[in-house]
Amino acid sequence: MREDITFILNNQVEKVSGLSGDTTLLNWLRQTKKLTGSKEGCGEGDCGACTVAVARPRADGAMQWQPVNACILFMGMLEGASVTTVEGIRPEGKGAPDLHPCQQVMVDQHASQCGFCTPGFVMSLFAAWCNGDGLAPAEIDTTLAGNLCRCTGYRPIVDAAAALPRRAIPPRWETRRRETEAGLMAAIAHDETVRLGDGKCSFIAPTSSDGFARAYAQAPDATIVSGATDVGLWVTKQNRKMPQMLWTGRVAGFDEIRRSGAHWRIGPAVTHQQAMPVLAEGRPDLAEVMRRFGSAQVRASGTVCGNIANGSPI
């Protein structure tokens, strides 16, 4: 078992150890890395001011960038992933513009006043822009539904999203950034269990179902965590202490959805976003309900099984 976590932050490798297992990404970014572009508004996954983009390869090998709420994401959940914050999107290299297109459209459309929400909106746009998805006129409200603005008003922000250039092939400077990101992620990939802890609170991320079962047998009082869209609030809002947390998100096969006769088998780490297309298949009414469930950020982290297991009030 490795006693540290390794991930990519703004295209640099980070190795972190000795940190309390319940440390959130937002607190670490702001307090340790002094990256204060990501803001804390609600601290509970509602406002999107803390939105960052987390990239991971999909099952088909293509990279996927997810907008996530850093305020309720535990550091141990980042093993092997790539995190991009608003500080990390600045275009670099020959021919690169001063501002990222996701920032430039916000300027051009006068879509920011106090600016507190702006980095979160920019990062939601950035994730959609990287995926080449969610920026068609009919999709923009859904893409931005997890970001709240108390001053500008949403019309210019939606106008900014609509003005964002959508290109099948990214500009050269962005291609270079993605190549670096993919190369670093491949270099740090491994399949060992990791533990992040400070002696008072440990976050354990096993990689196999046997390893998960063994870890749970050794610590039967451990809190099982999937997306942390509930458990994160136990920490940030209730100041609850959990000596051990056991994460489903890295276990091989826990993210699988399989059809079995008339039933679906949904693994414990399957997010709402992953489950939506199959659950809504042939049920347009349910598709509409699910589109309104949480937000893009919450659906990208929260899991169907965790939601049911917790009887989530949210």
Cβ proximity of 44 and 71 under 8 Å: yes
Per CB under 6 A, residues contacting ligand FES are: 40-43, 45-50, 69, 71, 112-118, 149-152
To the nearest whole angstrom, how small is the minimum distance from the Cβ of residue 68 to ligand FES?
9
Helices 101-108 and 118-131: angle between axes, nearest 10 degrees: 130
3-state secondary structure of 15: strand
Please state the closest distance from residue 45 (CB atom) to ligand FES, in A.
5
Residue 209 CB, shortest distance to ligand FES, in Å, is 31
Q: Is residue 77 within 8 Å of 271, Cβ to Cβ? A: no
Tell me the C-alpha distance between 186 and 178, whole Å.
Answer: 12
Can you spell out the DSSP letters for 218-260? Answer: H-TTPEEESS-TTHHHHHHTT----SEEEESTTSTTTT-EEEE
Amino acid at 30: R
- In a 13 Å sphere around the CA of 249, the CA atoms on its Cβ side amount to 26
CA–CA separation, 265 and 242 (whole Å): 30
How many Å is the maximal CA-CA distance in the chain?
Answer: 57
Residue 170 Cα distances to 65, 96, 179, 194, 201, angstroms: 14, 12, 12, 35, 42
* Smallest gap from residue 39 Cβ to ligand FES (A): 7
Residues 6+ apart with CB under 8 A from 4: 15, 16, 17, 194, 196
* Minimum separation from the CB atom of position 153 to ligand FES (A): 9
Stretch (H or E) spanning 264: strand 263-266
Question: Minimum distance from CB of 144 to ligand FES (Å)?
Answer: 12
Nearest to ligand FES of 48, 76 (CB atom): 48
Q: How many CB atoms lie within 10 A of CB 99?
A: 16
* Nearer CB in complex with ligand FES: 69/274: 69
Of the pair 149, 225, the CB lying nearest ligand FES is at: 149
For residue 107, give every residue at least 6 positions away whose Cβ sits within 8 Å of its Cβ, in sequence order, or none: 99
Measured CA to CA in angstroms, residue 282 lies from 32, 256, 264, 271 at distances of 47, 20, 14, 20
